[in-house]
Amino acid sequence: MDLQKLMDLPGTLAAFTYTDRGELQAHMLREGTELTPQVLDLLTRSCVANQAIAAMEARGWEALTGQSGFQPLKGFSVVGLEWSVVVNGNAGVVVKNRDANYEATFNALQSA
Amino acid sequence: MHIVKQLMAIPGVIAAGEYAYRGDRFSYQGALTDEFARMASILCRANTLSVNMQSEIFDSFAENCGCRPVQGWIVRGDKVTVCAVGNYFSFIENRDELLNDVMTIMRAKVGDVQDDLLANLYARLGGDTKEALY
């Protein structure tokens, strides 16, 4: 995983990878950001949880409604007041809302 | 123009709607049945509750870290994406630039979600539980 490539996305404050259990593995922080490795470590645990919940919902939705196109899951994002966290698999980025390009970020995480 | 109508005018938006934070009612337009829209509203409310709970934990860990109050969330599926901002949701196709356009419109139209979101989400039907919560 090339974290520097993720850091080059518009508005990125942090890029990180984590284990299947949600433990922070590697990270890069933009200079001047108030985010800390400790916050990222908490964030990565929620990333694992949210992706698991979303995968369950996607599976259940497809089974119940007969609609397709939800699986396999390609990512999850939580949009906060000032920044959003965008994750897919075992990698994620934190992007400033005003500069966020969600589509490019999801695509970058998909191909990373 | 109302946000749901505006979203539905964009090619690639499958359905859009509004759910009450209390979970007792919803409205929608697009390719969903009433029952599917009801399920979507429950799903959106549950996810919104969940990410707000997480943001409260972040905030107690790192005050004013910039995540609270949560404005919304996105589930990116293989061909379909579900977006929620405030108490509005939309199901959209994964087309180029559509997600960014939809998020821009939803954020602009809904405005900043305020701190009373959790009080509304936890409110009992017909009651004001803000006092009980805090």
Locate the chain A residue with the closest alpha carbon to B64: A34
Task: Verify cis geometry, omega within 30 degrees of 0, for the bond prior to B69.
Answer: yes
Q: How much is the average pLDDT of A27-53?
A: 94
- Determine the 3-state secondary structure of B17 from DSSP: strand
Closest by Cβ to B100, choosing from A46, A61, A103? A103
Can you give the pLDDT at residue B124? 55
Closest CB to A81 among B69, B73, B98: B69
For strand A75-79 and strand A83-88, is the pairing parallel, antiparallel, or unpaired?
antiparallel
For residue range B46-66, list pLDDT tens digits in order: 999 999 989 988 888 888 888
Nearest CA in chain A to B91: A70
Chain segment B61-102, per-residue pLDDT in tens: 888 888 889 999 999 999 999 999 999 999 999 999 999 999
- Comparison of pLDDT for B121 and A99, the residue scoring more: A99
Q: Which residues of B touch A107 (CB under 8 A)?
A: none
Residue B29 Cα distances to A48, A66, B3, B16, B86, angstroms: 32, 19, 11, 6, 17
Average pLDDT over residues A33-39: 90
**ipTM beyond cut 0.90:** yes
User: How close A103 comes to chain B (CA, Å)?
Assistant: 6
Q: Environment class of residue A16 by beta-carbon count within 10 Å: exposed (0-12), middle (13-18) or buried (19+)?
A: buried
Task: Please give the share of chain A, as a percent, with pLDDT higher than 90.
Answer: 93
Give me the helices (H) in B16-125, please. Answer: 34-61, 98-110, 117-122
Distance from A4 to chain B by nearest Cα, in Å? 23
The full length of chain B comes to 134
Flag if B51 and A50 touch (Cβ within 8 Å).
Answer: yes
What digits encode the pLDDT tens for the residues B17-57?
Answer: 998 877 678 899 999 999 999 999 999 999 999 999 899 88
Q: What is the DSSP letter of B119?
A: H
Going by C-alpha positions, the residue among A78, A108, A110, A112 that lies closest to residue A9 is: A108
Please confirm whether the linkage preceding B11 is cis (ω < 30° from 0). no
Contact A74 B76 (CB under 8 A): yes
Average pLDDT on B97-119 reads 88
Q: How far is A76 from chain B (nearest CA, A)?
A: 5
pLDDT of the residue at B126:
53
Cβ contact B74–A77 (<8 Å): yes
Of the partner residues A36, A50, A101, the one whose CB lies closest to the CB of residue B100: A101
pLDDT, tens digit, 9 for 90 and up, residues A51-103? 999 999 999 999 999 999 999 999 999 999 999 999 999 999 999 999 999 99
pLDDT for A34 beyond 80: yes
Can you name the residues that pair with B91 across neighbouring β-strands? Answer: B15, B82
What's the pLDDT score for residue B79?
97
Residue contact B62–A101, C-beta within 8 A: no
Tokens of B25: 């009612």
Residues B17 and B40: their CA atoms lie apart, in Å, by: 9
Q: What is the dihedral of CA A54, A57, A63, A64, to 10 degrees?
A: -150
pLDDT at position B128 is 56
d(CA B27, CA B18): 5
